[in-house]
Amino acid sequence: MTPQPQPIREWPTWRYIFELARYKPWLYLASGLFASTMFYVFPLIPGLIVRDLLDGLTGAAPLQVDIWALVGLFIGVWFGRHLFILFAVIAEASLHMIINTLLRRNLLAHVLQQPGARALPHSPGEAISRFRNDVESMPEFLSWTIDPIGQAIVMIAGLSTLASIDPLITGAVVIPILITLVIVNIASKRIQRYRQAAREAIGSVTDFLGETFGAVVAIQLAGTHEHVVKHFAARNETRRKAALADLLFSQMLETFTYNSANFGTGILLLVAARAMQGGASTFTVGDFSLFVSYLGWLTIVTSMFGSHLIRYRQTGVSVQRLMGLMTGAPPQKLVEHNPIHILGDLPALPPPPTVSAAPLEMLQVRKLTYRYPGSEKGIGPIDFDLPRGSFTVITGRIGSGKSTLLRVLLGLLPKDSGEILWNGQPIPDPAAFFTPPHSAYTPQAPRLFSESLKDNVLMGLPEDSFDFEAAIRQAVFERDLAELDEGVATLVGTRGVRLSGGQLQRTAAARMFVRQPELLVFDDLSSALDVDTERLLWERAAQHPGQTFLVVSHRRPALRRADQILVLQDGRLEARGTLNDLLASSPEFQRLWAGDFDTQTTHSE
């Protein structure tokens, strides 16, 4: 009996924060010292100086030092505070940048390691929203984690100082602070709910924009641009309402929090006026100024503690959203301590991978099956062999399972059963194995980046180690290249929009050829090529006898070139053989040769 995989144990939010703090501990502690401790403590010092100054001027108490010394000390404290704030900004900004980079590096590394068919569990627009907003919320909270220490120091020192002067008045002015703390705690869950709704609404708008920009031609051809604009307006209105509710409630709570200081000041005026009546009172003008100074700051500190609690809950939401992008990964992968390169020269690219297995002599597929979840549609069981240097074509009507077969073979879809053998050795993880230099794959709709044509072909490979010109020639692209305004430096535009369909496919083919893989897999590469270009492409493929081709096509130049043809019908291998054999023996292939490619009703690609 096959053992069941153990479920991944989730971490509490604080564990992620703790691991991030350990990444750059000295920078984290420096940020905590300047931004979380001294930031809170420094405002207490001017109040003490001003109290002594006022008491000395009014004669309530003798000055311990010269008045100008107090003024100089006050100015020194003012400059010192701003200097500490400068250090705090530098340390905190550096910490944010480093942690943002680390988190995005880990997320991107995980996404790029996944099989192409399921690399993202969410749409690209939603993923971008998480990469941007949710990542940024984690270092923001990280820099707040030492704040409670500074807040506690301030509260203890401030209240102790006030209580030593007059415990009764201290108790009176602390009441608004306690009320503020209670209100913030009560409202924190609602704030979290509003901000979560706003975050999801923003992600929805980003997602829709990404899909719209990627389907401009389809929208224009369908004549539905007005409906698209209306739908976008509806989503944006939802986002506006969610953001407004979030902002309005937060501002209302913030207004109450900060105005509680004014309320406390009013109480202080009433109680202090009573205390100062009569000459016997020991409550001085300096004491009054100290209370006013401390009251406002202690109220602000209390509201910041409430914000700290809110941010912790929000960070927990962001952690869950980020882990949603890391399907199947343990929690430590999100905060794993990996090198990042923000300053200095970037590291040299690693050498291209070498063949880890023996050069391909025979690829064998045995009883390969796959069924789409919740459906009987799929492929299999399918058996076939690919000898080294052979040219094999998979053909069949629309919906027969051709693309599905390629994806299962390459590990882009998980096989239900069956075996794939390289030179007689089973391949346990096809998704990891069928990459250059073992194999290269071009899907029906290849993707290009908004970079130069050369960059799209090489994709980071060192030019002096690979034959770029030979790859261009094998892809029958040399004539097109000569007609481009800037040659290999031509920017192809978003998804290759500046190239024709045939040029885009041949650029993707050159990207495969330059890597010189053992096995080349094409999913209907020639669909946008004219007959002469396609014929020339396959003729040049024959000039590389060591390369093995597996091609999905229904075009006659490919079928004539094939050493063997696999005919799929309803996800099953209906016939296999040479062109002449199939024309003589397979009714299904005879219909295909006659141009009948109608969709089959029992299967969907």
Q: Looking at the structure, do residues 102 and 180 belong to the same domain, yes or no? A: yes
Q: Looking at the structure, do residues 301 and 371 belong to the same domain, yes or no? A: no
Q: Looking at the structure, do residues 174 and 267 belong to the same domain, yes or no? A: yes
Q: Looking at the structure, do residues 315 and 396 belong to the same domain, yes or no? A: no
> pLDDT-based confidence at 519, cuts 50/70/90?
very high
Mean pLDDT of 483-490: 86
**Residue 408 burial (10 A CB sphere; 0-12, 13-18, 19+):** buried
DSSP string, 274-328: HHTSSTT----HHHHHHHHHHHHHHHHHHHHHHHHHHHHHHHHHHHHHHHTTSTT
Q: Looking at the structure, do residues 383 and 442 belong to the same domain, yes or no? A: yes
> pLDDT-based confidence at 604, cuts 50/70/90?
very low
Q: Percentage of the chain with pLDDT > 70?
A: 75
Tell me, what's the pLDDT at 513?
A: 92
Q: Judge whether 470 lies within some domain.
A: yes
Q: Judge whether 262 lies within some domain.
A: yes
In whole angstroms, what is the distance from residue 490 CA to residue 448 CA? 13
Statement: residue 5 has pLDDT above 50: no
3-state SS, one letter per residue, for 79-147:
HHHHHHHHHHHHHHHHHHHHHHHHHHHHHHHHHHHCCHHHCCCCCHHHHHHHHHHHHHHHHHHHCCCCH
Q: Looking at the structure, do residues 410 and 291 belong to the same domain, yes or no? A: no
- Domain of residue 498 covers 362-593
Beta-sheet pairing, 362-371 with 378-387: antiparallel
HSE-up (13 A, CA, CB side) for residue 145: 23
**Residues 154/44, Cβ–Cβ less than 8 Å:** yes
pTM (predicted TM-score): 0.68
Q: Looking at the structure, do residues 175 and 310 belong to the same domain, yes or no? A: yes
Specify the CATH number for the domain of residue 288. Answer: 1.20.1560.10
State which of 289, 313, 333 marks the end of a domain.
333
Statement: residue 594 has pLDDT above 60: yes
Q: Judge whether 251 lies within some domain.
A: no
- Each residue's pLDDT tens digit, 174-222: 666 677 667 766 776 677 677 777 777 877 787 777 677 767 767 776 7
Give whole-number Cα distances, 83 to 133, 145, 518, in Å: 30, 22, 63
Tell me, what's the pLDDT at 566?
A: 96
Q: Looking at the structure, do residues 107 and 162 belong to the same domain, yes or no? A: yes
**Residues 27/92, Cβ–Cβ less than 8 Å:** no
Tell me, what's the pLDDT at 392?
A: 95
- Each residue's pLDDT tens digit, 235-274: 888 888 888 887 787 777 767 666 665 666 666 666 666 6
- Each residue's pLDDT tens digit, 300-359: 676 666 666 667 777 887 888 899 888 888 999 999 999 988 877 877 767 766 666 788
Q: Looking at the structure, do residues 162 and 290 belong to the same domain, yes or no? A: yes
Q: Looking at the structure, do residues 181 and 316 belong to the same domain, yes or no? A: yes
Statement: residue 382 has pLDDT above 90: yes
In whole angstroms, what is the distance from residue 429 CA to residue 407 CA? 13
Tell me, what's the pLDDT at 576?
A: 93
Beta bridge partners of 522: 442, 551
Tokens for 74, please give them. 């006050």
Average pLDDT, the chain: 80
Q: Judge whether 206 lies within some domain.
A: no
Q: Judge whether 175 lies within some domain.
A: yes
Statement: residue 4 has pLDDT above 50: no
Statement: residue 70 has pLDDT above 70: no
Q: Looking at the structure, do residues 310 and 429 belong to the same domain, yes or no? A: no
Tell me, what's the pLDDT at 521?
A: 94
Residue with the larger pLDDT of the pair 119 and 546: 546
Q: What angle do CA 246, 251, 255 make, to 5 degrees?
A: 155
Tell me, what's the pLDDT at 209?
A: 76
Q: List the alpha helices (DSSP H) in 466-549.
A: 468-474, 478-483, 501-513, 531-541
In whole angstroms, what is the distance from residue 558 CA to residue 582 CA? 15
Tell me, what's the pLDDT at 152?
A: 74
Number of compact structural domains in the chain: 2
Mean pLDDT of 15-19: 92
Specify the CATH number for the domain of residue 423. Answer: 3.40.50.300
